[in-house]
Structure 1
Amino acid sequence: MQKFDAIVIGSGQGGNPLAKKMAEKGWKTALVEQRYLGGTCINDGCTPTKAMIACAKVAHTVFHSKLWGVHSHGLMVDLPFIVARKNNIVEQFREGTAKGLHADGVSVFMGTAAFTGNKTIKVTGHKGEENILTADHIFINTGTTPHIPPIEGLADVPWLTSTTILDEIVIPKSLIILGGSYIALEMGQLYKRLGSAVTIVETSTQLVSKEDPDVAAVIRKMLESEDLLIYTGTQAERVTKNGKNIQVDIVTGTSRETLTATHILVATGRSPQTAALQLQHTNILTDEKGYIQTNERLETTEPGVYAIGDVKGGPAFTHISYNDHLIIYKNLFENANLSVKTRQVPYCMFTDPQLGRIGITEKEAAKEGIPVKVACLSMDKVARAIETGQTRGFMKALVHEHTDQVLGAAVIGPEGGEIMSLLQMAMLGGITAKQLREMVFAHPLYAESLNNLFMTLEK
């Protein structure tokens, strides 16, 4: 048995910096990773998808270049090159992670971790070798994996996930996507721009069901303008193989239809990776879906054992996982007494244009009885957007009627995430809507449109 001060299970964007910082503080630290260093973000999520989305945007711009008075002669998408470029970037990030952990003296074990007691784990390596590790502090960062719904016949067809589709080197001729949230929409637009005929099937009555209806409507219109076929309020009842094609029987209200495509992508959410941990040997509790339960300081029901990142449920974003590690680190080493309750939760969907979101939605404000004014500005009224020929989308901000504080914002537009981040900082700094309306921004930035956004409250 090897004794450590701390064990981190999972090499994600919260686990890695936490392990490094604890090692720097002199703690004997072990990190266990089942698959690849870097976690979902580097290997399957943010890094590879945004690398490929960038290529798809170039293809889209070239294809429509005549709109800017530039006439291209033919377009050929080299998917093997795009995938290789993506893989090179992933390898670069993965190698950087490994070097950083090694430099800080973290002991890395490649294998599957399973608890044998509250503070003891067995690591089974890829060749069957076993190591028994124990520590007073254990941090679970095992993340999530694509959720595969129990649809009749799905198991009998070669379905793809947001992980496996990234290694396809032949562009799907046609692609059915089950799901209508962030991953599904990013993947849908990506492969449509590379040349696939894309159909999206979503069970909720709107896309991105957590967003306000006006936000969802604009996103749908934007995707349909690129010829994606979208079904909402629709159930996939059965999946069958028909020669080289896949058929999906769908139901929308009382209407039935059969969709046919060469490929099917399952993007119906994610499930926590907790089964292999064998938590039944511990006092660590999970919810009915398997997410690890924590308090507001991220400690589980077993003192000294913490959960960070997606495995604990809640906002499933890389930046939240990173912030988790800061909360834990500062509480352990700086007596900071930080909590997850008061932190901001920004996020961005990397469709083109982007959706940047921060704070409460109109739906939430109405539900909680918060008096708000809504500032709204269409992107076709933004000078920079007109000049660049990117006028799809709009900006919306919720302002408290009495305090003039910004409570939330949604920005659908070019660099929507960057504009949202400005509003996020305003919210954190207590800058009022009036101050933003009168603030001096460099002309003609997208940021300057915040003047006009908040001027709409005067009308």
Structure 2
Amino acid sequence: MNFDAIIIGTGQAGPPLAQSLAEHGQKIAIIEKDHLGGTCVNVGCTPTKSYVASARRAFIAGNSSELGVTIKGDVLIDLKKIKQRKDGIVQDSRNGLEKMLTENKSITLIRGKASFVNNHTIEVNGDQHTADKIYINVGARPYIPNGFKDVPYLTNESILELEEIPEHLVIVGGGYIGLEFGQMFRRFGSKVTILEKGGELLKKEDGDISDLIAEIMEDSGVEIKLKSDCIGAKKKNDHIEATFNCDDNSQKLKASHLLLATGRTPNTDYMGLENTGIKLTKHGYIKVDDTLLTSVDHIWALGDCNGEGAFTHTAYNDFQIVNSQLFLDQKRFLSDRFTCYAAFIDPPLARVGMNQKDIQKKGLIAKVSEIPMSKIARAKEMGETKGKLKIFLEVDTDSILGATFIGAGADEYIHTIIDQMYAGSSYQTVRDAIHIHPTISELIPTMLENSTMLRYFVKK
């Protein structure tokens, strides 16, 4: 069949783009090889945050005596029921997408794996489809390192299908996925050990933040083993034997379950891209320009497969960029975007823009304002004083370079800073604002009244 446009993938960017193209009179095909909704709906944000909610309820139920609330008896975890609730939420999202994509007469939903025949032709299930414009939105999948082929490992996808609590969950990788699942399953009752080959968790963060996250995880009862090189595993009788460290220092762990949280790899290796003029990075991501156009002038790449975000919110922003370039007077560009994200441990880490590592690398003259959560009245009243707030300011322009927050609700009030950065406001705008008392965010203006210079040496 011939279409005006073909979209490959129904992740966060695909369906809204299909809807917009259809509203502008185009005939659209959207191709999906698996469940509708991509990573976020099926194995990412939606299911994991429903699990995080259950884990927090379990934690609160068993850890409120300091606030004068004591529950007699055991706190029981029903993972099967937690999974059923998650499955229901996921299915609701899938159903909504199915309705949207099938009831629009200008959109044809094609089920199957897409492969390029040439720059204009896509083959699915033996049928060939052509289009003037093609939008690739194929996402990414878990990266599986060498040495685990014969081990019954779990990924962020398969672990969500468990119906019984692991006795001892060993996690390889101390990134966002590993930390979220680690704390979650510890709160469900598993013994949890995280093996991280680096010297700190979340290596992109500043050292004090990485240390604080390690402290939070250890306070949760998660065992952290940093600098764990030579990580391997094998099936041994009724358990998995995980090994780490080299030579004479080699250690072994007896695990009931093994979760590989070692990163993501783009789904670009099965699409026949070698039959096109599309260029890839050395890691397999599709190269794009500031408008998300690939090296072929009628093919765009959106979402995780372009390596420019790897988050649901950046994928949706990819749609906004492409849509603006196609139909709006005010154009959006990739370079307009401030990096922002959160790690949904408890308390959460939230980040926007630069941190001290980034500022030092660029050699900028900057200041930092920070305050520990233990100094914030609302945090003390809630009994949740773990964490700190940090905001980085450029001396020459008074602009906000970035912020890193760890604390109860940080994933929400980080948007105070995000919005000001997009508005191009001076930090003085926030400093002089009046916030509601008693809240945690009311201390953001107060902390900006005092700042200290960042001191470091920049190598010439």
Partner of 2:139: 143
What does residue 456 of structure 2 align with?
none
CA–CA distance in 1 between the matches of 2:255 and 2:300?
A: 44
| CA drift at 1:337 | 4.3
Number of residues of Structure 1 aligned to a counterpart in Structure 2:
451
Residue 134 in 1 paired to residue 130 in 2? yes
How far apart are the structure 1 equivalents of 2:282 and 2:174?
24
Q: Indicate how the Cα distance of structure 1 residues 337 and 431 shifts in structure 2: closer, same or farther if over 3 A, else same.
A: closer
**Matched position secondary structure for 2:250:** strand
Instruction: Tell me the CA shift for residue 240 of structure 1.
Output: 1.5
TM-score, normalised by the number of residues in structure 2? 0.95
**Amino acid of the structure 1 residue aligned with 2:31:** V
1:84-132 Cα shifts (integer Å, max 9, x gaps): 00000000111111112223331100101011111101112xxxxx321
2:62: which partner in 1? 63
Q: CA deviation at 1:426?
A: 1.4
Residue 236 of structure 1 deviates from its aligned partner by: 3.8
Q: Offset at 1:21?
A: 0.7
SS at match of 1:277: coil
Quote how far apart the aligned CAs of 1:369 are: 0.8
Q: Aligned equivalents of 2:416 and 2:197: distance in 1?
A: 34
Paired position in structure 2 for 1:339: 333
Secondary structure of the residue aligned to 1:21 is helix
Tell me, in whole angstroms, the C-alpha distance in 1 between the residues paired with 2:301 and 2:428: 41
CA distance, structure 1, for counterparts of residue 340 and residue 42 of structure 2? 22
Partners in 1 of 2:396 and 2:299 — Cα distance?
Answer: 43
Mapped partners of 1:187, 1:236: distance in 2: 22
The answer to whether residue 156 in structure 2 is matched with residue 159 in structure 1 is no
In structure 2, distance between residues paired with 1:17 and 1:144: 19
User: Shift in Å at residue 384 of structure 1?
Assistant: 1.0
In 1, Cα distance between equivalents of 2:332 and 2:56: 40
Work out whether 1:175 is the aligned partner of 2:172: no
Q: Which moved more, 1:404-413 or 1:254-263?
A: 254-263
Q: CA deviation at 1:365?
A: 0.4
1:405 is displaced (CA, Å) by: 1.5
Q: Give the aligned partner of residue 87 of structure 2.
A: 87
Quote the residue 2:380 is aligned against.
386
**In 2 relative to 1, CA 239–458 (structure 1 residues): closer, same or farther, beyond 3 Å?**
closer
1:229 corresponds to 2:223: yes
Give the drift of 1:228: 0.6
Alignment match, 2:350:
356
Q: Which secondary structure does the structure 2 equivalent of 1:428 belong to?
A: helix
C-alpha displacement of 1:418: 1.1
TM alignment of 1:434-449, pairs within 5 A: 434-449=428-443
Q: Could you say what secondary structure the match of 1:407 adopts?
A: strand
Tell me the CA shift for residue 431 of structure 1. 3.1
- State the Cα distance separating 1:436 from its structure 2 match: 2.0
Question: Which residues of structure 2 form unaligned runs of 5+?
Answer: 454-460
CA distance, structure 2, for counterparts of residue 92 and residue 50 of structure 1: 15
Q: One-letter code of the match for 1:148?
A: I
Tell me the alpha carbon deviations over residues 194-221 of structure 1, each in whole angstroms, 9 at most, x when there is no partner.
0111111112211011111111111000
Other structure's SS at 1:452 match: helix
Provide the identity percentage. 37
Kept after mapping to 2: 8 A contact 1:201/1:236: no
Q: CA deviation at 1:336?
A: 4.3
Looking at structure 2, the residues matched to 371 and 253 of structure 1 have their Cα atoms a distance apart, in angstroms, of 45
In 1, distance between residues paired with 2:442 and 2:133? 48
Question: 2:203 & 2:235 partners in 1: Cα distance?
Answer: 30
Moved more, 44-53 or 312-321: 312-321
- Does the 8 Å contact 2:54/2:82 carry over to 1? yes
Separation in 2, partners of 1:144, 1:25: 29
Partners in 1 of 2:235 and 2:155 — Cα distance?
17
Which of 357, 363, 366 aligns to 1:372? It is 366
Report how far residue 254 of structure 1 moved: 7.0
Q: Judging changes above 3 Å, is the alpha-carbon distance between structure 1 residues 209 and 458 closer, same or farther for their aligned structure 2 residues?
A: closer
Q: Runs of 4+ in structure 1 displaced over 6 angstroms?
A: none
1:90 maps to amino acid: V
Instruction: Give, as a single letter, the amino acid of the residue that structure 2 aligns with 1:100.
Output: M
Q: Is the 8 A contact 1:191 1:198 kept in 2?
A: yes
What SS does the corresponding residue of 2:245 show, helix, strand or coil?
strand
**Consecutive unaligned residues in structure 1, runs of 5 or more:** 125-129
Please say if residues 377 and 456 of structure 1, whose CA atoms lie closer than 8 Å, have aligned partners that are also in contact. no
Question: Which one of 397, 405, 410 corresponds to residue 399 of structure 2?
Answer: 405
1:408–1:79 CA distance, 2 compared to 1 (3 A): same
Distance 1:262 1:268, change over 3 A: same
- Provide the residue aligned with 2:48 in structure 1: 49
Q: CA deviation at 1:155?
A: 1.4
2:290 corresponds to = 296
What secondary structure does 1:373 align onto? Answer: strand
Aligned to 1:101: 101
Partner SS state of residue 253, structure 2: strand
* CA 236–58 in structure 1, closer or farther in 2 if over 3 Å, else same: farther
* Distance in structure 2 (CA, Å) of the matches to 1:279 and 1:29: 21
Determine if the alignment matches structure 1 residue 196 to structure 2 residue 185.
no
- Asked whether the equivalents of residues 178 and 200 of structure 1 are also in contact (C-alpha less than 8 Å), the reply is yes
Please tell me whether the aligned partners of residues 376 and 440 of structure 2 are also in contact (alpha carbons under 8 angstroms).
Answer: yes
How far the C-alpha of 1:300 sits from its partner, in A, is 1.0
Q: Distance in 1 between matches of 2:429 and 2:22?
A: 44
Aligned residue identity for 1:138? I
Deviation at 1:253, TM superposition (A): 9.4
Equivalent residue of 1:36, what SS? coil
Contact 1:233–1:252 (Cα < 8 Å) also in 2:
no
